Amino acid sequence: MSKYMVFYNTTSAMRAQMAEIPPEQSAAGMQEWMTWGERVGDRLVDMGSPLENDGDADVQVSGYSVIEADSQEQLDGFLEGHPHTAAGGTISTQRFMEMPGM
């Protein structure tokens, strides 16, 4: 089993739109994330956190999660239908390097 860092990417336009979301819509969006987390179950090692906007790049990493999966294909299955992509964001992943002897 491998551990993967999941990066949630947003554009500056998406970040501006998210800043204007009313509280009710924000709560509904958070519930979608919680439902996704329940589906992934104990393979979701760390739900993660939003990250602050840093600089002027149009596309930035806006958050992360850590997931354990048996393969990239299984990870892709966990991420299928993720609320971040439903909202227009993109997701990228990277496998943690296994350090011999650690």
The CATH number given to whatever domain includes residue 61 is: 3.30.70.1060
In a domain, 102, yes or no: no
For residue 19, the model assigns a pLDDT of: 83
Residue 9 lies in domain: 2-95
Sheet holding 59-69, edge to edge: 44-50, 59-69, 2-11, 90-95
The total domain count for the chain is: 1
List of residues 6+ apart from 35 with CB closer than 8 A? none
In a domain, 101, yes or no: no
- Per run of 10 residues, the mean pLDDT along the chain (length 102 residues) is 95 86 90 96 95 78 95 97 91 91 73
Q: In what helix (H) or strand (E) does residue 62 lie, and over which residues does it extend?
A: strand 59-69
For residue 95, the model assigns a pLDDT of: 96
For residue 102, the model assigns a pLDDT of: 67
For residue 81, the model assigns a pLDDT of: 93
CB half-sphere exposure, 87, CA atoms < 13 A = 22
Report the predicted TM-score, pTM, of the whole model to 2 decimal places.
0.87
In a domain, 70, yes or no: yes
For residue 9, the model assigns a pLDDT of: 93
